Structure 1
């Protein structure tokens, strides 16, 4: 490809990197990465988002920087999975249900519709790749990192929902990214924190872990993200999939026939950075067959990784043809997905093309054009109606001994955990909608006691003293990873000794496995506003929930 030949080695290698930065404006870090290190991709985190308007301007500014520097247009991405994983939780971007809620609703058409809604909105603010859907099959009750990010434990169901999401995103000009290959569902360690192994034989992997990825490839998925997980059946050496040529090239490329973009999960995660270092890992990932290397946070790690790959090509450790093949895939994707920016990419074939970039003032208008985008936007009322419908079809009443609907003649006591979650990059955030507030809007006799997700035993004991015999008691639990926190377990255990409880699992349905069996157990899979509103209707009997558990509680 003539356009590749016209790019320097440094430009070609830079196009293979996707990097994050820390500002809500184009700061020194991202300017340096684009202008000096030619990075071709940017990833947004919550730290980059003040509002949808600000993010739209930021996307245009970043594209303008690339244009001014004579670089190819950027690939801008985000982790907007839905439910509890939403980097953009501001007005203007719909908070669509997460995967396990969609799995509980059991209607792939809902999954398709949510991806179309979200895809349209992401495209409108200058994002053209969503690092979703998760197609890991969550069949490990102690999985600390996937959980409700999965559609469930049934591989066929996960595959169907995953293909629907891929179709929905890509119909709006957004690249979908199936992750985490070859499968992160049956793990009990978070790869952000350490190395993990999936030891199953090949027959089992084909039936469970690999099935959704095969279906994703059949659905034409644009990208697949790797897992920092060891699969000894595929790679005999103790090497995580991200760095294994047997996994990325042998299995994914050659055997499974995937010819889209292979992107690594972030190399700063401890499963990679601690044993290998980010720079060495970047070299090994490219050697293994990755096209796009993700380094999300630290400028020095980002620079070291880019420079290491350049040096590896110069020394002959990485063949120049390997870089060129990766760049061909990236350029082909950018030409297909970036609307009128594709005209610039095609023009690179001309002798005088380099530097013939659009004027800075035109960048935003050009970038936000998509040939595939459906031009029939839905009204906000229609979208809200859909979200409420999905919520009523996903909320699952697992067990009830006649405690529902709530008795309007009795007081209701709601114990609500205030969620303040910190992600792997220490970004605090919270959901403020509470069940007590939602119920009080429907009936007056509601008392709410807010706790942290890690309540002390003393805190639990104070609640015990405040509850009376005549109360209907609703305890909401919240587990973000692994086990239900001990303080929440203690609270439920002590209340269960005296009262018949309604327990609502606001995220992890597996909470039931760590508490005495309550009189009523309800799973919501997330505590987003639409779900909390709908939950209040289910508890009062104004709405019947029809969700089915997408995982086993045994």
Structure 2
């Protein structure tokens, strides 16, 4: 271990149980102060911190160098690089498929390879923890925050693919994190915005939600992240899991036997910050059994959380023995990660960032996942002789999970490269009145033999739903062959009839668009299988 606990000051110990984030591509002065004065031991990156690979490497090195001036214990640097639509880094790296894409491909080997490739690239960027995989069983079509971040709705498949991905990450020296314990899949609210609840019985939780987490514990996952979700069957006092001793200590530690690091989801999320508050939340989460407290954004809230926990220890509300338990877990995790990283770098499997072999492997995964749900009218493959209209949905506003991605490649451009004559109209995922009028005008003024509509969470967008209705009528009247494609949430099927042609692609990343285009023109077969019921 990195030194003896008896040699560490209280602030050095407290620094190891907090993880903070910051803005910018360089280490700002206030983070230098946190490293010096508070001995901060853990950092989280978001998209705001990353641009290209050389910049990320330089930032990681700068952070470690600044930390080493005051602390002999190396920093942990974490990120949410789940793959697919939740990937903070999307330049110069191999962006692996999202988890529902891997669920549709249905291969444990692919899940392992996705973790391994992503892990070896993150390690070279100086990142030591990936907050992935998501082990939530997504069996609620109305879930606003998990959805395609899950492998699917079958707990056994989520467990199998999740464990395989964990193995891939950790063999490459990056600590994996199973989230969001004990399960955020069957909620209709987003814990970024409010406090959700899962009302199922204890028996049901053990049969569904807990299955993947039990498998992850048995497989040696290094971290498990808590859910800001109420589980009355587990915690009758109404506390969210993050603040519940019954959930974190009695269930996860004692019953399931998890011995490594419990990390909270960010305490700034409204489920906590607008409930007990960030300061009290940090104390209550630690008393419940958490080892690592995550406060991602605001310096004032980070200092509030640190001060509250420090005061709780000084006042004897939290014993130093309890503090030592968590510090030991964090330091042991760091040491194991460093050892595995050294082994991985010494192996012949350790490929450079963005290696052709990695990109090719990712492409095969995408091709295996594209799913044809229904095509009763026989509109596929696309006719290369017909003029084709492509309606492309563009994400224009970032949310807590979705982020605006600069994307040069669209489906229309990709189909055009394959020899189709395409006209592409880009609309927002929340189309404006002007965009809706433009769609109607185009359909009235020109005849298109084929129309391909990309749908992006269309079931929650009145504008996209209106366009779907217009196109379904055109198809029924046999004026155009209309193909609907989900580029995110497969539950958009609810807007269609059984006679509409429908494909699920699960994400709009460039390599998925290449695979999707090849399937649309018949160059490769549709091979994916739906990992959820529609």
Alignment length (residue pairs): 522
Deviation for aligned residue 1:49: 0.6
Distance 2:423 2:517 in 1: 14
Tell me what 1:304 maps to: 304
Deviation for aligned residue 1:4: 1.0
Tell me what 2:153 maps to: 153
Distance 1:431 1:517 in 2: 32
Tell me what 2:399 maps to: 423
Question: Equivalences for 1:257-406 in 2 at 5 Å?
Answer: 257-339=257-339, 370-373=342-345, 374-378=347-351, 380-400=355-375, 401-406=377-382
Deviations 1:482-521 (A, max 9, x none): x431000001101212234200000000011134455310
Q: Structure 1 residue 476 and structure 2 residue 454: aligned?
A: yes
Deviations 1:236-282 (A, max 9, x none): 11100000000000000000000010000000000000011111100
Q: Which of 253-262 and 316-325 deviates more?
A: 316-325
Deviations 1:105-156 (A, max 9, x none): 0011000011111100111111111000000000000101000000000000
Structure 2, unaligned runs of 5 or more? 476-480
Q: 2:139–2:153: 8 Å Cα contact kept in structure 1?
A: yes
Q: Which of 492-501 and 107-116 deviates more?
A: 492-501
Q: TM-score, normalised by structure 2?
A: 0.95
**Alignment equivalent of 2:522, drawn from 526, 537, 541:** 541
Distance 2:144 2:523 in 1: 35
Question: Equivalences for 1:146-225 in 2 at 5 Å?
Answer: 146-225=146-225
Q: 2:344–2:350: 8 Å Cα contact kept in structure 1?
A: no
Tell me what 1:523 maps to: 504
Q: Which of 68-77 and 193-202 deviates more?
A: 68-77
Distance 2:334 2:41 in 1: 10
**Alignment equivalent of 1:505, drawn from 483, 486, 491:** 486
- Change in CA separation of 1:428 and 1:524 when aligned onto 2, cut-off 3 Å: closer
Structure 1, unaligned runs of 5 or more? 341-368
Deviations 1:53-111 (A, max 9, x none): 011011111111111013521111110000000011111x2110000000000011000
- Change in CA separation of 1:215 and 1:60 when aligned onto 2, cut-off 3 Å: same
Tell me what 1:43 maps to: 44
- Change in CA separation of 1:298 and 1:239 when aligned onto 2, cut-off 3 Å: same
Distance 1:196 1:464 in 2: 39
- Change in CA separation of 1:393 and 1:240 when aligned onto 2, cut-off 3 Å: same
Tell me what 2:117 maps to: 117
Tell me what 1:461 maps to: 437
Q: TM-score, normalised by structure 1?
A: 0.91
- Change in CA separation of 1:197 and 1:444 when aligned onto 2, cut-off 3 Å: closer
Q: 1:19–1:297: 8 Å Cα contact kept in structure 2?
A: yes
Distance 1:60 1:398 in 2: 47
CA-based RMSD of the aligned residues comes to 1.7
